[in-house]
Amino acid sequence: MEQSPCVRICTLNTENVCIGCGRNVEELKNWATFSDETKRTIKAQLKARLDVMLIEIRKKKE
């Protein structure tokens, strides 16, 4: 069983993506129903999503 990537920082940004784990609202709501393969696919995308959020935050501070 594939573990949740939740890091207990459950806050959504303006695009409805969790700033803690990087999942969007639909992924958060449906996580328990996804197959392990789907969960692995989503988890493979999370670092890139979080990196994009960090870049956007840094741009706003400039």
Cα–Cα dist 43/34, whole Å: 12
Average pLDDT, the chain: 96
Tally of domains within the chain = 1
Whole-number percent of the chain with pLDDT over 90:
94
- Provide the token pair at 62: 């400039």
Domain with 10, as residue range(s), is: 1-62
3-state SS assignment for residue 13: coil
Alpha carbon distance 2, 58 (integer Å): 32
Q: Band the pLDDT of 62: cuts 50, 70, 90.
A: confident
Q: Is residue 54 pLDDT above 90, yes or no?
A: yes
